[in-house]
Amino acid sequence: MGARWTQGMSLLELLIVMAVVGILLSIGWGNYNRAIWANEVTEQANMLARDLNASRSAAQRESQNITLSFSSNNYTFGPEGTPGTRRVLSNGITLQCITNCVGTLTYQAPFATLNDAMGRVYRLSSPHGGVAPVEVRVVGVTGKVNVVRGQS
């Protein structure tokens, strides 16, 4: 007599498949979270770069000095002598000045040149491990802004 085939899977086969799927999901979940966290840092860095560029344009357009001041989790920008607009970084992302960190950054009217010819570098970092920081570089007397992904 021939072997009899039954339909379905045994409990052992089902448990093995579930274990393999669980292992694959746990590996993928870590990469997924890291990608989300890296995207958050990049998004905040791009927001800072847009605000720096907008401040530079406003100094030229409105012919008045625009100042920017920074702390570890927020920054403020606006016309000199006014309270300005305050931006708070989300999800525990920190902002750190890396080079030339004395005082506020000012785009001076009418040509939107920086008060400091050296420029500055700001690093935005995630509170989560394994996420590369992102640097926002304000270059030279012109104040051109570059966003550069760092190494983790």
CB atoms within 10 A of CB 113: 18
H-state helical runs in the chain = 11-62
Cis peptide before 127 (omega within 30 of 0): no
Does the residue 141 lie in any domain? yes
CATH number of the domain that residue 83 is part of: 3.55.40.10
Does the residue 22 lie in any domain? yes
Does the residue 6 lie in any domain? no
CB atoms within 10 A of CB 93: 23
In Å, how far are 39, 59, 66, 101 from 80, measured between CA atoms? Answer: 32, 10, 5, 19
Q: Can you give the residue range of the structural domain that contains 67?
A: 11-149
Does the residue 1 lie in any domain? no
How do the pLDDT tens digits run along the chain, 152 residues long? 556 666 778 899 899 999 999 998 888 787 888 999 999 999 999 999 999 999 999 999 999 999 999 998 999 999 998 989 999 999 999 999 998 888 889 999 999 999 877 889 999 999 998 899 999 999 988 999 999 997 65
Does the residue 60 lie in any domain? yes
Alpha-carbon distance 45 to 34, whole Å? Answer: 17
- The verdict on pTM exceeding 0.75 is yes
Q: 79 φ, ψ to 5°?
A: -60, 145
Does the residue 77 lie in any domain? yes
Q: What is the pLDDT of residue 113?
A: 92
Please give the tally of structural domains in the chain: 1
Does the residue 120 lie in any domain? yes
Does the residue 3 lie in any domain? no
